[in-house]
Every structure is written in C-alpha cells, then in structure tokens.
A and B are shown apart, each in its own frame.
Chain A
Amino acid sequence: MPTTYLEAIREGLWEEMERDPNVFLLGEDIGVYGGAFKVTAGFIEHFGERRVVDTPISEGAIVGAAIGASFLGLRPVAEMQFADFISCGFDQIVNFAAKCRYRWGAAVPMVIRAPSGGGIHGGPFHSQNPEMWFVRVPGLKVVAPATAYDAKGLIKSAVRDNDPVLFFEHKGLYRRIREELPGEEYTVPIGKAKVVREGRDLTIVAYGAMVWTALEAAEKLAEEGVQAEVVDLRTLLPLDRETVIESVRKTSKVLLVHEDTRTGGMAGELAASITESVFEYLDGPVVRVTAPDTPVPYSPPLEEAFLPNVEKVLEKARWLRRY
C-alpha cells in the first residue's frame, strides 16, 4: 500500500519513539485530537500522556520547554499548528536554541515540525513559507522534504540530530503524494540534495512542493526535446551547494524555483554560489521562478497568480533554453 507524505512523517516519528524512550512530542491539540492535520493521530493512545504532551496555546513556551527538556537528554519534537505561528516562538529559536552550542557548548537536540506552504486558500496567516527566516541563522538546521520517502527518512534523521532542526512539511503534499516505501528501516541524511531527474540541457533546482512542479515541467520539456535535470535540495541549511554546482557544470543553464517570496529567498543565495564557483560554465543568466514579494493572498485567482506553477516554470525554461 502506498504511503502518503503525511503517513510517512507519522511513521518516522512513530519508529523513533519506539526506538528511543527519550523522544517525546509536544504541541497544541496533538494528543487527544491527533493534531490539526492528524499527523500524530493515535500517538497518545499508544505512547501515553507522558510522551505526547498537549500544550496550552503558547508557542514561546513550547519551544522554550523543548529546549529545556533537551538539556536533560530528552529529544523533544515540537509541533507548530501552522508554520505561520512559529513567529510566536521566534526568540527562543533564533536567539537561544541556535546559539547554545556556540556560546556555551550546550547541545539542543530538538525538532520543530512546521506545516507550511500555500495552495490551500488559507490566506496570509496559514500559507506562508517561513523557512528563510531561519536559514539566515547559523546554528539551526532547516529541512524541507518533497517526497514521502524523504519525509520519513529526514524526520528520523532530525530526531537523531544533536542540533536544533526545523522541519518544514508542506501542507499541500500531505495527502497528495503517495509512494511505496521500503519495508526495512532507513534514514535520509540532513544536508544532502538529490538529483531526482537526470538531464543535460538545463538544471531546475527546487525544494518542497515545487519539486513536483519542476518534475512536471521537466516532463513537458522532454516532449519538446529538452532534457531538464531536477535537483531537490531537501535540506536548506546546511545547504548542499556541491550537488547544485555539479549539475550546473553539466547543463550550463539553471532555473531556481521556490514557492517562497523572491527577495532574500533561497534562489538568491544559490545564484550567488553558482556564479561564484562555476561562472565560466554558464551559458545563460541564472533565472528565478518564485512567488512575488507580497503576502499570500486568499482569493483563488490571486493565490493562483501568486504561486509558481508548471506554466510559469515552462515559460522561463523555454526562454532560458533559447538564450
């Protein structure tokens, strides 16, 4: 039976909790209710209230308490009901968790799960992609899987990691993506991108839901005789520049795609890295397809205009191809 992206996260968490008694969950409505998106449904029944903690509506306390618990050897996995509300726990994440190891040698083996992303008509407060608020903060790790396979493998690695990991799971993928997963246990390393489609004419780099957009665009391009290579970043911090650069060295043209807004987005950082290291290999400008610099609007026609999609990727890819 194929496993959804959502079930993959669930399975990964479940296995880690079975493996290590010090792994525990905390968050709003995650226990009795099983979480706003039902990722932790059934956990409290199996693992009990000691290991599945329903909290008050207090993101600052959720993150702060996770940090504190991690000092005594526990491995907390905190859930933000929506990634948007991670802002309410911002200070604990960026000023405390991220700097503990560097400042005073204290490890913070904590995971924060954050359902992010648009396309669900959630409007400005339930659709954001806040990953870059954190990618600028040394000391954090930031993960954003696109596939069910990676979602499971990465949540397991995140739980085992001895540094604070922010795990952005795309709401739009929860039930849309289904894959056969291996029966045996596996993990996916944090900090490693992956070439998910090989090609020689053009590289498309994406992460999260946009990987599927990139793959669909690549299919269409293939019909037009263009072989696009698709790189899924999987982890945003630490960033696997080498895999991207390796691909660009091969194709000489690169399109950077993300659902997040444009200015200060991941594409800008990648563009700088690419031009710094393989400028002489480039046969065209580094091109971006991103959301524009606006809040995420609610009304369907506005949100559609806001979000990158296959058409928008194709248009830029064709342009770049002809360049």
Chain B
Amino acid sequence: MSAAPVSTLPSTSASGEPAELAHKCLYYMTLMREVEDRIERKLYRQGKIVGGVYVGRGQEAIPVGTALLAEPDDVLLPSHRDMAVMFIRGMPLGRVFAQYMGRADGPTRGREGNMHMGDLKLNLVSIISALAATVPVAAGVALAMRYLGKPGVAFSYFGDGATSRGDWHEGVNFATVQKLPVLFICNNNQYAYSTPLSAQMACANVADRGPAYSMPAEIVDGNDVLAVHAATRRALEQVRAGGGPYLLECKTFRMTGHSAHDAAHYVPKELFEEWERMDPIARLRSKMLANGWADEAGLERVRAGILREIDEAVEWADRSPYPDPATLLDDVYEQS
C-alpha cells in the first residue's frame, strides 16, 4: 500500500488563544463541510460512490468543538455525522475518500462504506450501524481505562433518535452506576430520518434524560463552536476528575435530508431557512472578522488551501485500486 497523504493544519498568523482556537475550529469545520460537499454533491452524483451517503452539514461545530479537546489517550466513538472527528484524530483525507469510493486504501479496505470506519491506532472506534450500539461500548472502553489505570475519557457520540434505543439506556446506566469516565455527546438535530423529536421522545430535551441517571447534563448551542468547545472543557474537567459520566446536548439542525437520496420534504422549509442563518461556519467567520482575528483574504486563502488538499486527496484515492476479490475471505478471523 502506498503512503496515504496526511492532512496538515495551516499555521495561523493571528495571535492570542481565542483567535488561534477560532482558526483551528474554522479550519476543521470548513474541511468537513468541503469534504462532505465533494462526496455528496460531486463524487456521489458522478457514481464514484455507491450505496448510502450521510453528511453532517450544519452540524460541524459539534465534532470540532468537542474532539479538539480530546487528549491522545481519549477514545472517540463518533456517529455518522461527525466526520471532523476523523480528521482531528489524524485520519488522512485520502484514506477517507478511498473509504467512500470502496478502494483498497480506505481504512476498511473496501469492506465497509461511508462513515463506518475506525482505527484503534488513532483511538477511533468504528460506528456500529445499529444506532446507540456504541454507547455501551463506550462504557466498556471507559471501564478498561480505569481498570488499566490509564488516563482518558471515552467520547460517545450519537443523535437524538439513538437515545430511544434500549442500548443507549443500558450503556448510560452502566456508565453512571460505575461512575465511568464517559462524555456523552448528543447532536440533537431535531430529526431522526423523517421522525421529528416530538415523535421520538416525550421530554423536550435529550438532556432531560440525565437526571434519571443522576448524570449531569447540559444544553449547548451546537451551532456555536466556541460555546461547544467551552462546554466540553467544563464537562471534561468533571469527567477527568472522576465525577463520572456527563451528557452534553448540542442543539443543532440537519441541513440535508437523512441521506443523499432523501429530499426531506417532511421538513418545513422555514426551518431550513431559519437554521441556515445560524450556519456554524458563517457565524464563526463573522465573529473572527468582527474581532479582528482574521481578514477576508486570509480566510479565503485557508479555504483555497483546503480545496487543494481535497483535490489532491481525491486524486490519490481515485488512483487507489479496488480491493482484490481474492481477499474476500481474509480477516474473518485472525490470520495464522
């Protein structure tokens, strides 16, 4: 296998902590947006990606604001709308495109598609398609951390709909009873496929589920990356200090259909318009410009750099071969 391209952070010229953080956040949010746009609006339509495509457009602040606070020992279990988590943990861009295109150089070597990927070397656990199935797994990861005397927190990501599953409740209950170091991160985008929140749960907020488990729970504006980041920092302080699990509910909106083949006619148009005005990337950009943390030309250069990175990564991925059918039977078990 040839070496995969590595995505790199641009160095920021701005000084001071908040400005630096803002630049980092903007970089990863833009990267996620542009990568998913390339996948959904170009590669998928060109037929280079077969099967389902799910993106996190409009929700980028959540994976970015949380995962930027992950330490190397932390283990992240992203959901299907958390692409940026992959990049922040060091998954190379080219390999992600190769994954979507079913190529041999993707992290699952063509066995899996879309966001269903992981890499334990990067402390990234692959999605289990059955929603919330990774919630008890996160509890197990945290249990092992404590057992082995390792520092570290399990970041457990899921959507609002996933909290209806028994697995969610079993995993959260186990984690809270055991006071395990788990940060539960809900992207409440208000729809689960076509099902609005009101048909999903009787309570108004996912955070309302916290008290039932004696678990601290906090609601944060999921379209404000700096707010998500600050809330995550507070939550992690408690979790790392041995306070047990913490639930962070990030309110946001799914700015697409459930998947590339869903036009989302069931979502009132006004809701899309309302949330479009709260786009997390546009909001951060305005803030950076207003605070003098950046200028238009500088931000455009960063975006142009990202587009170049993507072009190169797609080219690299497109050169990656399809998996050899002769490998079909490999790795069902450990190879002796």
Contact = CB atoms under 8 A, between A and B. Distances in A.
Interface of A: 28-29, 32-33, 36, 54, 56-61, 81, 84-85, 87-88, 120-126, 292-295, 297-302, 304-306
Interface in B113-172: 113-114, 116, 128-132, 161-162, 164-167
A299 B98 CA distance: 11
Contacts of A302: 102, 110-111, 323, 325, 327-328
Contacts of A295: 111, 332
Given A56-B161, A57-B164, A305-B328, A29 B102 contact: no
B8 interface: no
Given A29-B194, A29-B195, A54-B199, A292 B328 contact: yes
Nearest to B131: A57
Interface of B: 50-52, 102-103, 108, 110-114, 116, 128-132, 161-162, 164-167, 192-195, 199-201, 266, 322-325, 327-329, 332
A56 B110 contact: no
The 4 closest A-B pairs by CB, nearest first: A299-B110, A125-B129, A299-B102, A33-B194
Contacts of A121: 50-51, 102, 113
A58 B112 contact: no
Given A32-B194, A57-B192, A123-B112, A294 B332 contact: yes
Contacts of A36: 193
Given A88-B130, A295-B332, A299-B111, 15 more contacts: A32-B194, A54-B199, A57-B161, A57-B195, A88-B166, A121-B102, A121-B113, A125-B128, A126-B129, A297-B328, A298-B111, A299-B323, A300-B322, A305-B325, A305-B328
A65 B128 CA distance: 25
A56 B328 contact: no
B130 A292 contact: no
A12 B92 CA distance: 50
B328 A54 contact: no
A60 B170 CA distance: 13
Given A58-B165, A299-B323, A306 B328 contact: yes
Contacts of B325: 301-302, 304-305
Contacts, number: 118
A88 B102 contact: no
Contact of A32 (B50, B114, B266): B266
A29 to B, nearest CB: 5
B322 A56 contact: no
Contacts of B327: 302
Contacts of B114: 123
Nearest to A298: B113
B113 A123 contact: yes
A294 B266 CA distance: 38
A133 to B, nearest CB: 14
A123 B195 contact: no
Nearest to B159: A57
Contacts of B166: 58, 60-61, 88
A299 B322 contact: yes
A125 B116 CA distance: 10
Given A56-B195, A124-B112, A298-B110, A33 B266 contact: yes
Contacts of B328: 292, 294, 297, 302, 305-306
B204 to A, nearest CB: 15
A56 B163 CA distance: 9
Contacts of A123: 51, 111-114, 116
Given A121-B51, A124-B112, A301 B194 contact: no
A125 B130 contact: yes
Contacts of A88: 130, 165-167
A90 to B, nearest CB: 11
19 contacts: A33-B195, A36-B193, A56-B199, A85-B129, A87-B130, A88-B165, A121-B113, A122-B51, A123-B51, A123-B113, A124-B111, A125-B128, A125-B129, A126-B51, A292-B329, A297-B110, A298-B111, A299-B102, A299-B111
A298 B51 contact: yes
A120 B50 CA distance: 8
Contacts of B165: 57-60, 88
Contacts of A126: 51-52, 129
Contacts of B111: 123-124, 295, 297-299, 302
Contacts of A122: 51-52
Contacts of B128: 125
Nearest to B49: A121
Query: Which of B132, B200, B201 counts the most chain A CB atoms within 10 A?
Result: B200
A109 B57 CA distance: 43
Contact of A84 (B102, B129, B193): B129
Nearest to A87: B130
Query: Which of A29, A59, A293 counts the most chain B CB atoms within 10 A?
Result: A29
Nearest to B109: A299
Contact of A57 (B50, B162, B323): B162
A299 B322 CA distance: 7
Nearest to A297: B111
A29 B200 CA distance: 11
Contacts of B110: 297-299, 301-302
Contacts of A306: 328
A28 B193 contact: yes
Contacts of A125: 116, 128-130
A297 B116 CA distance: 12
A204 to B, nearest CB: 24
Contacts of A58: 164-166
Contacts of A56: 161, 164, 192, 195, 199-201
Contacts of A29: 193-195
Nearest to B201: A56
A87 to B, nearest CB: 7
B168 to A, nearest CB: 9
A157 to B, nearest CB: 30
B203 to A, nearest CB: 12
